Amino acid sequence: MEQSRKTEFMEFVRLQIPTYIISVFLAIVGVFFGLLPYYMAYRLLIDISKSAETNTVLMYAVFILISFALQILMHSFSTAISHKTAFSILQNVRLSITEKMLRMSLGYSRSKGSGYFHNMLIDSMERLEYPLAHAIPETTSNVLLPLCVIGLLFFTDWRMGLAVLLPATLTLAFYLPMYIGIMNEFANTYYKKLENMDGRVIEYIRGNKEIKIFGREKEAFSEYEESIKQYETATLKLYNRMYFVASPATVILSSLLVSVLCVGGFLYYRGDLSAHLYLFSMLVSIGIGNSLLKFTEFMDNFYHIKNGARLINEVLSAPELQEPDHRKNEIFNKEIVFQNVSFSYEETKVLENISFVLPEKTKTAIVGPSGSGKTTIANLIARFWDVEEGDITIGGISYKDLSLEQLMQQINYVTQDTFLFNMSIKDNIRLGKPDATDDEVIGAAQKAQCHEFISSLKKGYDTEVGDDGAKLSGGQRQRITIARAILRDAPILILDEATAYADMENQSQIQHSLQELCKNKTLILIAHRLSTIMDCDQIIVMSNGKINAIGTHEELLKKSNLYSQMWKIHEKSRNWKLEKRKEGSLC
């Protein structure tokens, strides 16, 4: 695997800097209009002290009203732009992550689990939307407003400016370092417990059927409940420490008026401060406290951004399957060759220095005990992973010199685990060939032995299959996936126990559909029932990640003890099943 060019979350934010600048500019203009009422009130107090007329008071009232209206208007425009910007950022991030998932190895995505990516694409994005939309423009305005008001106070009387600035500065100097220290100490634990809880919820919902079948309701619920308790404990620890620091700061910032009252009262009684300036200072000090409190509230949002950015960067910097710089010529020969291939899942060695040839338009079976590496070989042929050592070639061209798109055009992969998207049967089959006509879709369905049951449905081919094909039986889902593969008509076909879970009636129909699918293909069978592979051109016997033997069925019975033992066990199993059926057993 190769390391892709590192893309980081902040790159998506930087692309939106021009629109953020507009949003911040409008927020600043809103701050300016928000300051005007204070200044108007100050001028009104001066005029009242000089016996202003009623018309003058009304004029000030109108100006103040207009100023507030313009402040609200600017704030609305700023927020609308910042929301649009936030959604644009998150849209680009979501698209980049889903595109990245197509380029990364299946092993990486499976090791993370569906809960991880659900949390990434949905929950984490939702938590990012609010801070991205509000934190930048509103934090800017909630910092600027106090600074401007304090500046105005210093302009009118430096002593009153100092009466507000000193307690506000000392409070923030005490509060912010402690806040940052607490968040650094507890935030990682908090977010990990949150992600664990999200994963447990998804696991509990997705595995609900298996939980009931195997009677694990108590254990599964207990694990789910434990994840909630751990999140609750982590949250309470964080909040309790935060409240201990934040509560005094909240009280002090809310009480800047007390400082103004004391200092201003002292100066007023000494005759060093006018009444109207004293009243004006009290008025604006209330607004400063509220703005600074909103600023401290937004501090949490920056940690939401930091954590979201960490998760996003983790995925975007994950290794990708290697892609060539230049597209190779068309692949004419479909012969697949493994050359000294080794592969591991994390620390576990699964394949070790294996070599073999799959000639074009031949039928090869891969057999062996459970865990011997059969499905891993199939996954490497489909290039769900890249090999660690050695090489795989098709038509003499290394896999690493082919684009994924080019390779995928050559390969069909049908497994026992079917997957259908929550859309119509027609659209699910058409995935094999997006530009296929309705007649081609119906033709593929007929060859896959599923046209009859589809036609019997009320909406026919327009029937919605539900999540993962839940509205259809297992055999019906299997035949639709085979119809999809028939429509695609790729020259290389991998069958990984495609009939393993089918009942007798469906198995017969699936076997007929597979015979149609296998015509003129390079066929690779991952098999457990040895009776189904006796006519293969070659059989590869795997044992503990190594090749035990290669040959035809008759050759392997003579030269491979492992295959011979597997055949004997298979024959005993078949005879046992026949005897049970004669006795009328349901088995």
Tell me which residue has tokens 């732009």: 81
CA pair distance 167, 169, nearest whole angstrom? 6
Domain-located, residue 509: no
Domain-located, residue 513: no
Do residue 298 and residue 399 come from a single domain? no
The DSSP bridge pattern shows strands 546-551 and 538-543 to be antiparallel
Do residue 340 and residue 400 come from a single domain? yes
3-state secondary structure string across 326-353 = CCCCCCCCCCEEEEEEEEEECCEEEEEE
CA pair distance 428, 177, nearest whole angstrom? 56
CA pair distance 383, 394, nearest whole angstrom? 12
Do residue 75 and residue 206 come from a single domain? yes
Do residue 225 and residue 292 come from a single domain? yes
Residue 150 CB burial class (10 angstroms; 0-12, 13-18, ≥19): buried
Do residue 185 and residue 54 come from a single domain? yes
Do residue 279 and residue 364 come from a single domain? no
**What does 505-540 look like in DSSP terms, one character per residue?**
HHHHHHHHHHHHHTTT-EEEEE-S-GGGSTT-SEEE
How confident is the model over 535-576, as pLDDT tens digits?
Answer: 888 999 998 889 999 999 889 988 889 988 888 887 776 655
Decide: 453 and 476 in contact? Cβ < 8 Å: yes
Decide: 379 and 385 in contact? Cβ < 8 Å: yes
Q: Supply angle C-alpha 127, 128, 132, rounded to 5.
A: 140
Do residue 110 and residue 32 come from a single domain? yes
Decide: 563 and 548 in contact? Cβ < 8 Å: yes
3-state secondary structure string across 50-91 = CCCCHHHHHHHHHHHHHHHHHHHHHHHHHHHHHHHHHHHHHH
Domain-located, residue 3: no
pLDDT of residue 113: 66
Decide: 126 and 341 in contact? Cβ < 8 Å: no
pLDDT of residue 356: 92
- Strands annotated E in 168-299: none
Which is it for the CA torsion 325, 101, 340, 413, positive or negative? negative
Decide: 60 and 43 in contact? Cβ < 8 Å: yes
Of the candidates 460, 191, 405, the residue with the CA atom closest to the CA atom of residue 303: 191
Domain-located, residue 323: no
Check which CATH number belongs to the domain holding 462 and give it.
3.40.50.300
Do residue 347 and residue 452 come from a single domain? no
Range(s) of the domain holding residue 534: 328-410+492-501+521-587
Backbone angles phi, psi at 420, to 5 degrees: -120, 145
Six-digit token string for 125: 């994005």
Domain-located, residue 246: yes
Domain-located, residue 510: no
CA pair distance 162, 168, nearest whole angstrom? 10
β-strand partners of 522: 492
Task: Count Cβ atoms below 10 Å from residue 424 Cβ, excluding itself.
Answer: 16
CA pair distance 266, 522, nearest whole angstrom? 96
Do residue 335 and residue 197 come from a single domain? no
Check which CATH number belongs to the domain holding 46 and give it.
1.20.1560.10
Six-digit token string for 276: 């109207």
Decide: 487 and 433 in contact? Cβ < 8 Å: yes
Task: Count Cβ atoms below 10 Å from residue 525 Cβ, excluding itself.
Answer: 23
Instruction: Identify the domain boundary among 261, 292, 316.
Output: 316
Decide: 423 and 461 in contact? Cβ < 8 Å: no
User: What average pLDDT values come out for the chain (587 residues) when binned by 10 residues?
Assistant: 58 88 86 80 75 77 90 89 90 86 74 70 79 78 77 84 84 77 75 76 67 66 80 81 73 76 87 82 75 70 79 82 68 87 83 91 88 87 86 88 82 79 89 88 86 89 82 82 85 74 53 68 81 84 90 89 86 58 38
**SS3 breakdown of the chain: % helix, strand, coil, rounded to 5?**
65, 10, 20
Which residue type is seen at 100? K
The count of domains in the chain is 3
Six-digit token string for 104: 């990364």
Of the candidates 515, 517, 514, the residue with the CA atom closest to the CA atom of residue 489: 517
Backbone angles phi, psi at 35, to 5 degrees: -80, -30
pLDDT of residue 2: 42
Instruction: Identify the domain boundary among 316, 348, 365.
Output: 316
Decide: 545 and 368 in contact? Cβ < 8 Å: no
User: Would you mind telling me the total number of residues written for the chain in this entry?
Assistant: 587
Do residue 110 and residue 258 come from a single domain? yes
Domain-located, residue 277: yes
β-strand partners of 252: none
Domain-located, residue 508: no
Do residue 99 and residue 164 come from a single domain? yes
Half-sphere exposure of 187 (CA within 13 A, CB side): 17
Half-sphere exposure of 352 (CA within 13 A, CB side): 9
Six-digit token string for 258: 């007390």
Which residue type is seen at 439? D
Do residue 100 and residue 161 come from a single domain? yes
Q: Supply angle C-alpha 60, 65, 70, rounded to 5.
A: 125
CA pair distance 530, 552, nearest whole angstrom? 12
Six-digit token string for 386: 């890249």
Instruction: Identify the domain boundary among 316, 336, 355.
Output: 316
CA pair distance 460, 1, nearest whole angstrom? 44
Residue 200 CA: distances (Å) to CA of 115, 136, 188, 205, 420: 8, 33, 18, 9, 24
